Structure 1
Amino acid sequence: MEAFRWVVFTAILALVASKTAEEWKSRIIYQLLTDRFSQKGDNPNTACSDLSGYCGGSFKGIEEQLDYIQGLGANAIWISPIVENTVNGYHGYWAKNIYKVNPEFGTEVELKSLITECHKRDIWVMFDVVANHMGRQSGCIDRSCPTEQLTNFTEFAPFDQQDQYHELCYIQESSNQSEIEQCRLGILPDLNQTESYVRQTLLDWISNLTREYNVDGLRIDTLCEVPKPFWREFQKSAGVFCLGEANYYDRPRYLASYQGEALEALLNFPMYWALRRSFNDKEHMTELLDSIDLQNEIFIDTTVLGLFVDNHDFQRFLNITPDVTLLRNALVFVFFSQGIPVVYYGTEQLFHGGADPDNRESLWPHFDNTTAMYQFIRQLADARKFSGVSFGDLNQNVVYVDNDTLVLTRGDNPSQLLIAVTNVGKSQGSVQKTVHNLTDTGSGAVFVNIWDNKDRVTVNDGVLTISLTNGQPKIFKLAETTPYKSSATAMFMHHLTAILSLCLAIFSKQFA
């Protein structure tokens, strides 16, 4: 009986310690490539010149720059896959031995030290993990490599047998699901997750990994390349929040099918493409509204999707469109629309690299926390954190849209935040917009610009007028009033309800 009580107790502790999807909705994620973020000790005074191989970034380097990350307003980091890689696998996606930590990044002790220091600062840690494939075989860089080398798996651990992999073939058709799941991405050996040894080994590995390192979440690579049922088992074995990379071009309905059927949360690639069309290509903002409406229809929960404008697989925003004002507008949307904001390292320093590997620059020697973009992102993070809005709720409403401007509100009625973004760019001058759909906000209510408290707009009979100067976005917060429902009593009841709901969920999971 005593043993049973201990099992129940430890299980409840694990549930309490594990960060849920609901909790992750309040986080701001900073994505970094371990090899490109910071070296141990003093970083070089010049940037890394050879981006096709290792540049020297390390776990210890990240730990030594946590002030920089925290100063930006991020409270979670997504780091590269930690396992030992084959030659030039600086990014972590070419596994050689899944049981060893990549010595180029540091030691197990240094990795655990990084995680401990993050947790002391309330910074959550997300590991990037790969379960679809292993790394390049020695001497192979493309399909011209001899077949006998491409089918020799003896250098990998633990998957060193041919029957643990799919037959040699390559992904050619993005619409051929069998090909996507059974053939190779590039030349990377494709694991066969239906083979019992492979399946169970991967499930045991991820279970042990998350517990050994006390990680708070996982970003899962190449979701579409593996059958959905496997990912459900994988997430269960991991026991932590999982954010999946389902990315096969701009196919919203196809990608949305992976939420629920595979994982609870995805990176929002459909919205990434919509933002590129709106802010880089300057298509009509009415199409951005169409994308928002479609996502609300096809996704189970849009508030748990990862929103971003830059990442390690695509040319950076400023490489496509060198207008910082447009980038600022896109970032405002990422921080205040439905989803979890993800900031790719270097965006805060206006990095503008092109296609891989040029979009994987070294952050050194650019650890400057005084730049305008660094401070702007910090302001967005603070505004999100201290707004009083529950971003995990479906409380978004688009109240105005035309060819170049979109205005939305966040929060319960009356709305607490009013966000205006535009794609006119820095050279347009001022534009003025009259918003007519604020009938739930009382007449006489005042919205105050979070960056300029002299910039105030008043709602009259559900209508207000805003001016956007030089293409800049604006964020307004509803001015405090006595009867407003975000009073101390209402906030206390909100937090009390959340705590009771969490307790109920914990005991329901344990004793169901």
Structure 2
Amino acid sequence: MKKNLVFLLIPFLLFSSAFSAGADKKEGRTWEDEIIYSLMIDRFNNGDNQNDEGVDLTDPSHAFQGGDFRGIERKLDYLKDMGFTTIMLSPVFQNDEMGYHGERVIDFYQTDPHFGTIEDLQSLVEEAHSKDMKVMFEFVTTHIGPKHPWTSDPSKEHWLKEAEDQEIEWLEGLPLLDLENEEVQDYLIEAALWWMDETNVDGFSLSGIEQAPLEFWEKFSAAVKEKNSSFYLSGTVMDGKNADLSKYQEAGIDGVVDTPLSMEARDAYSNIDVSAGALLDRWEKNVDLYPNPQSLALQFDSKYSVRYTKDMVENNQYPIARWKSALFYLYTQPEVPIVFYGTEIALNGDMPPDNVPLMNFRTDEEFLEFIGKVGTLRQEEKTLRHGSMELLHEKDGMLVFKREYEGDTIVVAINNTTQDQTVSVPVSKLEEGKELRGMFASDLVKSSNGEYNIVVDREMMEVYKLADQTGFNLPFIFSIPLVFVVFGIFMYLAWKRGKKRNPYE
């Protein structure tokens, strides 16, 4: 019987050699390789009812709702299946009774009891690492809670500044840290290094980076990178419309959120038949402005903004269709994608705190599959993470652009219009005698008469890889009759073996 099994394996080996391509060894990941899911701990998932003291589900604007580290750990497979490689948490520090968002810090060396213990956080990080996922959390540097011990300690009076007016409700009136003060700087840096040691976390996100002197960020980033050179630092300028983000990159913050591009992306995909040309114009400016434009991060919304779904609803659009176009652009453009929790259910909401309700996980399976598929595509194609970007066509929402990296060429087509579209791309922009193989919707476009004619249905999209034209697959063709021959031999041997066992038949 073992000899028969050898015969059976032959066609499978032939098929394997005909269709399988050798996978490259996995290289070390950099910030540019990540797909990030940003979440508010308290509003994601409740995994431990023992830490629910003070939870009030009737008051989501001011009270804790029960989310915790264990709840996140239980949803790691859910996040991994959608293609996310990094989880970005809201602040983990101990807060006062109104600090569900993590901004009202009262102790920089303790986790908030509502979120769980430091051992729970360590378990979350360890489990994420076992699934090849990274964990970051927001490290608060600009302010503390009104009940922090420093506010009543005369010796710390020079550590604080007067609060400023804030548009965000939970930041209003919070005491500000004087980040010009070297004692404050040293305290925060020492705390950051302690959390790195204690939790093995992979990075920090930093909000309001414009509120600190540049020298502090140089000092902060140098300290954490000396401890761990691959540690991620992501930063957000609260009002970044005209901010100079390059100086923060030069100071050592890897992933500064590209606020100007985020605003333009919201405008481009919250409605249909809207030009996306501004997105490519902004990218060309970024290439000139920034030392490493691809380490910038792009997001459509965050805990500080109105939900992007609200823009779609106000435009009388179906949110899932709009989100598909938006996410497809997010995952195929050069900057690091950040997705805010609840996007997968098209969560709606106005300004904070209305934008951060408790996650309900009543998901649309087809939409989840879409997110997972485009996420996997970005993970598998290095060109989508590191390649250059060149506009090939844009008109009223029909966008085609090219990404190139290390000899590979990918073409992205997004039809964010109400009509089916055909775009003719001259071979001079690609190569003569090649073909575009669809990797998302399995389309195939061959060059003809000096052009590649790309056809995309309304509100649909495709990612093409430029490749040699397909010829005859000789190993496959020759293997077909062999399969039948082997099958016949197997049936004959099986019949013969049966005859030996029952000679009276």
Q: For the superposition of Structure 1 and Structure 2, which TM-score range results when normalised by the shorter chain?
A: 0.7 to 0.9
CA contact (8 A) 1:415 1:478 kept: yes
Q: Could you say if the C-alpha distance between residues 401 and 272 of structure 1 is closer, same or farther in structure 2, counting changes exceeding 3 Å?
A: same
Contact 1:443-1:461 within 8 A present in 2 as well: no
For 1:423, give the aligned amino acid: N
Partner of 2:60: 51
Q: What is the one-letter code of the residue matched to 1:308?
A: Q
Match of 1:221 in 2: 207
The reply to whether residue 119 of structure 1 matches residue 129 of structure 2 is: yes
What's the secondary structure of 1:270's corresponding residue? helix
| Residues 401/353 of structure 1: CA separation in 2 closer, same or farther (3 Å cut) | same
In the superposition, the TM-score normalised over structure 2's length comes to 0.78
Match of 1:350 in 2: 346
Say whether 1:325 aligns with 2:315.
no
State the distance in 2 between where 1:434 and 1:478 align. Answer: 15
Give me the whole-angstrom Cα distance separating, in 2, the residues matched to 1:274 and 1:159. 47
What CA distance in whole angstroms lies between the structure 2 residues aligned with 1:126 and 1:157?
Answer: 31
The CA deviation string for residues 85-119 of structure 1, in whole angstroms up to 9 with x for no partner, is 12311111221111111111000111111111111
CA separation of 1:267 and 1:155: change in aligned 2, threshold 3 A: same
For 2:295, the equivalent position in structure 1 comes to 304
Task: Confirm whether residue 386 of structure 1 aligns to residue 395 of structure 2.
Answer: no
Report the residue type matching 1:302 in the other structure.
P
Whole-Å Cα distance in 2 between the matches of residues 80 and 295 of structure 1?
Answer: 28
- What does residue range 146-165 of structure 1 map to in structure 2 within 5 Å? 154=149, 161-165=156-160
Assess if the C-alpha contact under 8 Å between 2:332 and 2:384 holds in 1. Answer: no
CA displacement 1:174-225 (0-9 Å, x = unmatched) = 9xxxxxxxxx963111111222321211111111111221111111111011
1:50-129 mapped onto 2 (5 Å cutoff): 50-52=59-61, 53-129=63-139
CA contact (8 A) 1:447 1:478 kept: yes
Q: Count matched residues.
A: 427
Decide whether aligned partners of structure 1 residues 160 and 262 sit closer, same or farther in structure 2, where only a CA change above 3 A counts: farther
Specify every segment of 5 or more residues in structure 1 that has no aligned partner in the other structure, as ranges: 1-18, 139-152, 175-183, 484-512
Partner residue in 1 for 2:335: 339
**Kindly tell me: are residues 347 and 160 of structure 1, through their superposed partners in 2, closer, same or farther at Cα, counting changes over 3 Å?**
farther
Q: 2:188 aligns with which of 191, 202, 211?
A: 202
CA distance, structure 2, for counterparts of residue 267 and residue 206 of structure 1: 21
Secondary structure, aligned partner of 2:399: strand
Report what 2:356 is aligned to.
360
Q: Which amino acid aligns with 1:161?
A: K
In the alignment, is the contact (CA less than 8 A) between 2:436 and 2:465 conserved in 1?
yes
Pair 1:285-2:273 in alignment? no
- Whether 1:469 and 2:463 are equivalent positions in the alignment is no
Is the partner of 1:100 in helix, strand or coil?
A: strand
Q: Give the C-alpha shift of residue 27 in structure 1.
A: 1.4
Contact persistence 1:350–1:373 (CA under 8 A): no
Aligned partners of 1:439 and 1:461 also within 8 Å: no
Structure 2 residue 447 is the aligned partner of structure 1 residue 459: yes
Conservation of the 8 A alpha-carbon contact between 2:398 and 2:421? no
> Are residues 209 and 431 of structure 1, via their aligned partners in 2, closer, same or farther at CA, if it must alter by over 3 Å?
same
1:450 aligns with 2:443: no
Shift of 1:48: 5.1
Contact 1:35 1:54 in 2 (8 A): yes
Name the amino acid aligned to 1:217.
Answer: G
Counterpart Cα distance in 2 of 1:39 and 1:160:
39
Give the distance between the partners of 1:351 and 1:188, measured in 2 at CA.
28
Write the letter of the residue equivalent to 1:162: E
Q: State the shift of 1:377 in Å.
A: 0.7
Counterpart in 2 of 1:33?
40
Per-residue CA deviations over 1:320-348 (Å, capped at 9, x if unaligned) read 11333222111111111111111211111
Provide the secondary structure at the position in 1 that maps to 2:385: coil
1:159-185 CA deviation, whole Å, 9 max, x = no partner? 97221112x25258x9xxxxxxxxx96
Report SS of the residue matched to 1:60. Answer: helix
Say which SS state the counterpart of residue 458 (structure 2) adopts. Answer: helix
Distance in 2 of aligned mates of 1:24 and 1:262? 12
Q: Distance in 2 between matches of 1:104 and 1:462?
A: 64
* Superposition map of 1:418-497 within 5 A: 418-424=411-417, 428-436=418-426, 438-439=427-428, 441-453=430-442, 455-460=443-448, 463-479=451-467
Following superposition, the deviation at residue 462 of structure 1 comes to 5.5
Measured at CA, do residues 345 and 219 of structure 1 come closer, stay the same or move farther in structure 2, by a change above 3 Å? Answer: same
Return the alpha-carbon distance in structure 1 between the equivalents of residues 98 and 116 of structure 2: 16
**C-alpha distance in 1, partners of 2:155/2:331?**
44
Q: Distance in 2 between matches of 1:92 and 1:319?
A: 25
State the Cα deviation string for residues 280-334 of structure 1 (Å, max 9, x = none).
Answer: 2665322222212111121221111112223222122221113332221111111
Q: 1:356 to 1:159 in 2, by over 3 A?
A: farther
Structure 1 residues 171 and 299, CA, compared in 2 at 3 Å: closer, same or farther?
farther
Question: C-alpha displacement at 1:473, in angstroms?
Answer: 2.3
Q: Deviations over 1:98-144 (max 9, x none)?
A: 11111110001111111111111111011111111112x25xxxxxx
| Contact 1:118/1:124 (<8 A) preserved | yes
Amino acid at match of 2:391: V
Structure 1 vs Structure 2: percent identity of aligned residues? 24
The alpha-carbon deviation at position 266 of structure 1 amounts to 0.4
Q: Deviations over 1:351-408 (max 9, x none)?
A: 1222212221222343x4x62221111001111122353623x422222222322211
Indicate whether 1:234 and 2:191 are aligned: no
| Counterpart amino acid of residue 476 in structure 1 | Y
**Counterpart position of 1:255:** 245
How large is the Cα RMSD of the aligned pairs? 2.9
Distance 1:362 1:163 in 2: 38
Moved more, 274-283 or 91-100: 274-283
Per-residue CA deviation, residues 447-473 of structure 1 (Å, 9 max, x unaligned), is 1222332x2112346522222212222
Q: Structure 1 length as normaliser, TM-score?
A: 0.77
